[in-house]
Amino acid sequence: MTLDLEAPASTGLTASAESRPVRPRRLRRTPALRALVRETRLHPSMLVAPLFVQPGIGRRDPIGSMPGQARLSADLAAKEAARLAELGVGGVILFGLPESKDPLGSEASTEGGIVQDAFRRIRALELPLVTIADTCLCEYTDHGHCGPIAADGSVDNDAALVRLAETAVAQARAGADIVAPSAMMDGQVAAIRAALDAEGFGQTAIMAYASKHASAFYGPFREAADSAPAFGDRRGYQMDPANGREAMREMALDVAEGADILLVKPALPGLDLIAAARDRFDLPIAAYQVSGEFAMIAAAAERGWLDGRRAMTEAVTGIVRAGAGIVITYAAADLATWLRDER
């Protein structure tokens, strides 16, 4: 194969297409050459592992739809955080399964709430990893929606803002370094920033789930977190997956409201948005490889249909290549282990 390329005039070469074949394969000959020219490298410090925290002590319940993942009691969650820190994983993001649920999602913001308990235990270990709280109400409300229900049956945006702000403050007080509002309520970043600042948590950062689509890929998570809506769906607040310009608008709003990190979710169906976000904004860009993205690779690997390690590495590498500097992934521990073994 030859391409008709002219040599630069200054070299004085009379390069015909024949004498200067373009041979990209030169740089693919050996593992060392391929490593030298590799454009995208994964590092454990850019990975964040989700943890599902449940009541009890010494309790570990596997999640059927997410091979290798489990709901953990707070003591075991702290142990798992220590293992992740040992592997060099950058952070953990906590989700809670409360003792009891009610219409307001009260346990999300109580001092003794399940996630707050886990944060205090993790903080006590002084681990070199970042602690992140998913700030939402759907795991805590008895109806499974991300905010209180208004008289007309829709989620009451401004009532949700009050609850989200209280929840973020409780999480910060318990030791979360970052709060990550994921309810897709209008104004949630501004409301949380104001509440954190007013309560003396000016140093607590906000990672905004800025672009969050109403995705079928959250299916396994809702089993794991027992947070499926009891009626209706989330399309009245999460975005239509068909919309990209709207996603950019949501991200711009969160920047204006004071977000410190922008998150795109889900990752694989949103690679275009990760790339556009990286291009348009100067904040760190995070992507969430969600439960369904994990489950489909893990399930195919279990059946021997895919090489799980290679497929997972390729998927996460693609997310980083698109522009994400932070990846939330259920494969964080596996990836960190594989990266260590490569060295």
Alpha-carbon dihedral 69, 74, 80, 84, rounded to 10 degrees: 100
Shortest CB 97 distance to ligand PBG, Å: 13
Cite the DSSP H helix spans in 175-270.
188-198, 219-224, 245-257
Shortest Å distance, C-beta 332 to ligand PBG: 12
Nearer to ligand PBG, 76 or 138 (CB): 138
The residues of the shown chain that bind ligand PBG, judged by CB under 6 A, are 134, 136, 138, 146, 182, 218, 221-222, 234, 290-291
Nearer to ligand PBG, 159 or 280 (CB): 159
State the nearest-atom distance from the C-beta of 340 to ligand PBG, in Å: 25
Residue number, 134 or 177, with CB nearest to ligand PBG = 134
For the stretch 248-253, contacts whose Cβ atoms lie closer than 8 Å and that sit 24 or more positions apart, written own/partner, are: 248/211, 248/273, 248/276, 248/277, 248/280, 250/210, 250/211, 251/210, 251/211, 251/277, 251/280, 251/281, 252/281, 253/189, 253/210
Residue whose Cβ sits closest to ligand PBG: 221
Which among 158, 171, 65, 56 is positioned nearest to 108, based on CA atoms? 171
Least distance to ligand PBG, CB of residue 41, Å: 25
How far apart CA 197 and CA 192 sit, in angstroms, is 8
Question: 265, 268, 291, 334: which one is catalytic?
Answer: 265
In whole angstroms, give the CA distance from residue 93 to residue 178. 9
**Burial grade of 178 (CB within 10 A; 0-12, 13-18, 19 or more):** buried
Whole-number minimum distance, CB 96 to ligand PBG, in Å? 11
Which alpha helices (DSSP H) does 218-257 contain, by range?
219-224, 245-257
Torsion angles phi and psi, residue 17, rounded to 5: -60, -35
212 is catalytic: yes
* CB neighbour class for 110 (10 Å; exposed up to 12, middle 13-18, buried from 19): middle
Nearer to ligand PBG, 23 or 235 (CB): 235
Q: Residue 130 has what DSSP assignment?
A: E
Q: Which is nearer to ligand PBG, 6 or 102 (CB)?
A: 102
To ligand PBG, the closest distance from the beta carbon of 294 in angstroms equals 7
Active-site pick, 71, 121, 173, 212: 212
Nearer to ligand PBG, 75 or 186 (CB): 186
Which active-site residues does the annotation give?
Answer: 212, 265
